A and B are shown apart, each in its own frame.
Chain A
Amino acid sequence: MIHSTIDTIAHTNRLRHIDTRLKVIFAITTLLITVASTSPIPPLLAFIIATILILFAAKIKLRTYLLLLLTPLFFGLVSLLLMSLFFGYADSPLYSFEILSHTFVVQKEGANMGLLVASRTLAGSACLFFLALTTPMTELFTGLRWLRIPEVVIELAMMIYRYIFLLLEEAERMWLASQMRGEGSFRTKIEVFSMLASTLFLRTIYQGEKLFVAMNSRCYDGETNSLAYQEKKTKISITALFAILLFEAVLAFVTILTRNMVLI
């Protein structure tokens, strides 16, 4: 299953020990510049850089990365197709073809818009994958604290994260068990799914009860008080920070430069 793969990779990749702040700054800034751009050039640039970092710096397997990229690629291509057919003025056809005596016209504005959206989706996903594949979720919680997210939400988020993997295993087992009994009619499928979900929910509740007992026996009073997590005092590498800022500046500059540019 793909989620456990991402989580495992996040703990074992080559960029694991790079300061989390650097990775977050890189991913978020690139994302923001990408969505702000109005031509496909900056997103493509961002996509190439993020891909190089993922494949060569973090040493993620090409197969895994391509598998992840399939979804944004599919969405990008579908929106490119739809937008080029349905967006635009009737007087700027690029290409027209006929299917079943209905004429489809590929329009200029639509094609440009579609290219922009497809490239942004691809670049955005690459940035997201970079963050997801190189940084374990537990380290991102620290980031949430800096953002002054209320403690109760962070605590909830951490507990949810803990239980996701336990429940996934349970769900997978139950789902397999139901599959072993063979395919039924649509009606049975719906019933089986509902039963599976309700049983899973009940097991979840028992887990929650057990968790509360366990926490209670350690004097839980609605707060998890612990000594502040002593992070190893790491210095942000100045060279890396400088390189990232330089890249973002170039990307922003390219964005401004290509502001009114259209490809087609």
Chain B
Amino acid sequence: MHIMEGYLPLIWCIFWYAVSAPFIVYGVWRLKKVVNEHPESKPMLAVAGAFAFVLSSLKMPSVTGSCSHPTGTGFGAIIFGPGITSVISIIVLLYQALLLAHGGITTLGANVFSMGIAGPFVAYLAYKTLRGIAGFNIAVFAAATLGDLATYVTTSIQLALAFPAPVGGIMRSFLGFSCIFAITQVPLALIEGLVTMLLLRYLLALKPDVFSAFHISDKSKLAEA
């Protein structure tokens, strides 16, 4: 759900940079804390960021045949928490803009808000809420799916705010944009939910102590899953 370079007018570029800034500052503060307590987690976070980039450049199987990439936001939010995921995603989005021509520099603020902030925070909340009630698998599935959907709704809102319809205003263009995206994004969100769930299950089966390397997630809860 990248917004292309040049798509948003200047005023909205600035607006989304400003909205994202406090979350990024919070993320950097969290990152500093984690890295100070456990210096060994820095290389881990770095390879995880590179993993996110590579994951997003792999094509996921999709029903519609359109080009679809996993965002990995749900995965990141569950393992690192939403704050650190925001910082990693701003770095990864910058690389995607410069190396893959996905997204852009002026739209970086808006893209970070939808993919690095709204997605992970929703995913994290969903995971925390459902973890105790519905069990690990369903919580992960719901978190990744809802995180993806939140990203897609946020992008639709961003586009609708920048391009309100002359008749019917923001609401109408929001419906227009979200209907167009729904065709590809809803199946994609479900697939990403499924993939994230299977991914975490394989990981825990292959190397149950893998998350202890991060010192961040509530590993006791992950371990018992």
Contacts and interface: CB of A to CB of B under 8 A. Distances in A.
Interface in B53-85: 53-55, 57-58, 60-61, 63, 70
Interface residues of A, number: 82
B167 interface: yes
Contacts of B60: 193
B58 to A, nearest CB: 6
Contacts of B165: 86-87
Interface in A110-166: 113, 117, 120-125, 127-129, 131-132, 137, 140, 150, 152-153, 155-157, 159-164, 166
B99 A3 contact: yes
B5 A3 contact: no
A171 B58 contact: yes
Given A153-B28, A222-B42, A75 B213 contact: no
A82 B179 CA distance: 12
A88 B167 CA distance: 7
A36 B163 CA distance: 14
B210 A205 contact: yes
B135 interface: no
Contact of B43 (A161, A164, A193, A212): A212
Given A125-B101, A164-B54, A212 B44 contact: yes
Nearest to A163: B50
Given A195-B202, A221-B39, A153 B7 contact: no
A7 B167 CA distance: 45
A160 B43 contact: no
Given A83-B163, A202-B207, A35 B9 contact: yes
Given A152-B31, A193-B195, A159 B101 contact: no
A32 interface: yes
Interface residues of B, number: 67
Contact of A156 (B5, B6, B8, B42): B42
A199 B55 CA distance: 12
A36 B95 CA distance: 24
A220 B8 CA distance: 43
A106 B112 CA distance: 34
A40 to B, nearest CB: 11
Contacts of B35: 152, 222
Interface string A182-202: 000010011101111111111
Given A35-B13, A87-B163, A159-B46, 4 more contacts: A31-B5, A87-B173, A132-B98, A153-B91
21 contacts: A3-B99, A31-B6, A31-B105, A35-B10, A72-B6, A83-B163, A117-B6, A123-B6, A124-B6, A124-B7, A128-B97, A156-B87, A159-B50, A160-B88, A160-B91, A162-B50, A199-B202, A200-B51, A204-B47, A208-B43, A208-B46
4 nearest A-B pairs in the assembled complex, by CB-CB distance: A124-B6, A159-B46, A194-B198, A163-B50
Interface of A: 2-3, 6-7, 28, 31-32, 34-36, 43, 68, 71-72, 75, 79, 82-83, 86-90, 109, 113, 117, 120-125, 127-129, 131-132, 137, 140, 150, 152-153, 155-157, 159-164, 166-168, 171, 175, 186, 189-191, 193-202, 204-205, 207-209, 211-212, 215-216, 220-222
Interface of B: 4-10, 13, 28, 31-32, 35-36, 39-40, 42-51, 53-55, 57-58, 60-61, 63, 70, 87-88, 91-92, 94-95, 97-101, 104-106, 163, 165-167, 173, 176, 180, 191, 194-195, 198-200, 202-203, 206-207, 210, 213
